[in-house]
Structure 1
Amino acid sequence: MFKRRITRVLNASKSEADFRRRTAGEHLEKGDLSAMIIAALITFLPVLLLILGAFALIIWLFFLR
């Protein structure tokens, strides 16, 4: 069942060449890079803020209280 996935992982160079061949004709448009950066910020920034807030709360509870 997972044989194709296992061989794809083990043959990384062949998999990379196949990926490059499939995406050779696709180029980024004008706003694609900025859209990807904004999407990454929207995705990761709330999680990072929650983690930093949790660390700040723990530090405040243990050391500054």
Structure 2
Amino acid sequence: MASLTVFMIYFCVLREENDLDDEMRVSLFDRLPGLEKNQLELAMEYNKERGIDTKRLESRLKEIESNS
């Protein structure tokens, strides 16, 4: 238990950030073009089938399409 605690303190607190940490911050939607649009369309279809509000999804989809 002590060695795990020491490792977690080192890894989470004391360790300096590196380029791998920067890569982990990049969104999956930024890495794969078109993925967010596809996910929004699927989410809108799912929500419409279940009677859930889709206004927020529609506005984000319009925003993505206007930037393309």
Using structure 1 for the length normalisation, give the TM-score. 0.29
Greater relative contact order: 1 or 2 (C-alpha under 8 angstroms, separation 6 or more)?
Answer: 2
Using structure 2 for the length normalisation, give the TM-score. 0.28
